Amino acid sequence: MALATAPPTPVKRFSANPFIAFYQSSIGKKIVVALSGLFLIFFIVGHLLGNLEIYLGQDHLNAYANLLQQLGPILWAERIILLLAVVVHIVATIQLAMENRAAKPKKYAKSAHQASTLASRTMIYTGLLVICFVVYHLLQFTLMWTNPEYRNLHDALGRHDVYHMVILGFRQPLIAVFYAAAIFFLATHLSHGFESVTQTLGINNRKIGRFISNGGRWLSWLIFAGYVSIPVTILLGLIK
């Protein structure tokens, strides 16, 4: 009588190149997701600090935006690195999800799904929503395709009047609400991101892990408060 044997488990082959081998491992990909995410957080915080200059008045915000434009090649280098970080973050996340799915035996698939936290499942959706928001945001304020009239806004010094562009944008309640919702999804994504980094590093039950998780949660909601204050104050007519 022939004995029933389990199908052989595929053996994963790793590259001889240590960098590629690192990326091929699951922990390597998780670290790449975390590091690219950290870089994106630096941009998000920097961008927020720049945008908060709106509270200092038209001259401050326009001078800041003008300075950025003057950076020329440095600005382009930053944009390319930013784009690369976004692509790497997404590609590594997709590959991790595919590997996780392939590693799960079919009969356990349902219970494994139930065991996965709501946070980890919502990460994909909040991430996708943030990407959709950024695409719209670039079309609105950077490329000005949605509102070509913004191109004609100039201040007394002949600089692009970013201050009035932002005010005109957020005076439309629908746009302000859309931004508030997108920033909420961004904060949720960041907050869960910090939590999952501590899990990846296996330090979620240690003091340092709890510090990163709680600190990350605070930072995420501070980011939310800072960004969302702009459409809210404009809509309330506090900035004119």
Using rule CB under 6 A, residue 193 touches ligand HEM: no
Stretch of residues binding ligand HEM (CB under 6 A), selected from 16-24, 90-98, 109-117, 179-187: 179-187
- Beta carbon of residue 201, minimum distance to ligand HEM (angstroms, whole number): 25
Residue 157 CB, shortest distance to ligand HEM, in Å, is 15
Instruction: Give the number of other Cβ atoms within 10 Å of residue 187's Cβ.
Output: 23
**CB nearer to ligand HEM: pick between 163 and 209:** 163
The nearest distance, CB 30 to ligand HEM, in angstroms, is 22
- Based on the shown chain and the rule CB under 6 A, indicate whether residue 22 belongs to the binding site for ligand HEM: no
Residue with tokens 């434009």: 69
Instruction: Tell me which of 32, 33, 34, 44 binds ligand HEM, using CB under 6 A.
Output: 44
Residue 162 touching ligand HEM (CB under 6 A): yes
Tell me the C-alpha distance between 90 and 33, whole Å.
8
The count of residues interacting with ligand HEM (CB under 6 A) is 20
Nearest approach, Cβ of residue 6 and ligand HEM (Å): 46
Q: Which is nearer to ligand HEM, 98 or 138 (CB)?
A: 138
Secondary structure of residue 116 in the 3-state scheme = coil
Least separation in angstroms between CB 21 and ligand HEM: 32
**176 touches ligand HEM by CB under 6 A:** no
Min dist CB 54 to ligand HEM, Å, is 7
Q: Residues interacting with ligand HEM, by CB under 6 A?
A: 44, 47, 51, 65, 75, 79, 130, 134, 137-138, 141-142, 162, 166, 179, 183, 186, 227, 230-231
